[in-house]
Chain A
Amino acid sequence: MAVCVAVIAKENYPLYIKTIPTDNELKFQYTVHTSLDVVEEKISSVGKNTNDLRELYLGLLYPTEDYKVYGYVTNTKVKFVIVVESSNTSLRDNEIRGMFRKLHNGYVDMLCNPFYTPGENITSRLFDNTVLSMMQQD
Chain B
Amino acid sequence: MADEVVFEYLHMEMISYLYRTAEKIEQDHCISKLESLGFRVGQSLSERFTKDSSRFKDELDTMKFICKDFWNSVYKKQVDNLRTNHQGVYVLQDNKFRFLTQISSGKQYMDAAPKYLAFPCGMIRGALSNLGINCVVTAEVSAMPACKFQIQIQRL
Contacts and interface: CB of A to CB of B under 8 A. Distances in A.
Interface of A: 10, 43, 46-47, 50, 53-56, 73-77, 104-105, 107-108, 111-112, 114, 118
Interface in B40-77: 40, 43-44, 46-48, 50-51, 53-58
A75 B48 contact: no
What secondary structure prevails in chain B residues at the interface with A? loop
Contacts, number: 49
A20 B10 CA distance: 45
B41 to A, nearest CB: 9
Given A10-B132, A112-B44, A118-B43, A76 B57 contact: no
Interface residues of B, number: 17
A22 B66 CA distance: 42
B55 A55 contact: yes
A108 B47 CA distance: 6
6 contacts: A56-B54, A73-B55, A76-B50, A76-B131, A105-B51, A112-B44
Interface of B: 40, 43-44, 46-48, 50-51, 53-58, 130-132
A76 B54 contact: no
Given A56-B54, A75-B53, A76-B50, 9 more contacts: A55-B54, A73-B55, A75-B46, A75-B131, A108-B48, A111-B43, A111-B48, A112-B47, A114-B40
Main secondary structure of the interface of A (DSSP, over half): loop
A77 B51 CA distance: 12
Contacts of B58: 47
Given A10-B132, A118-B130, A75 B56 contact: yes
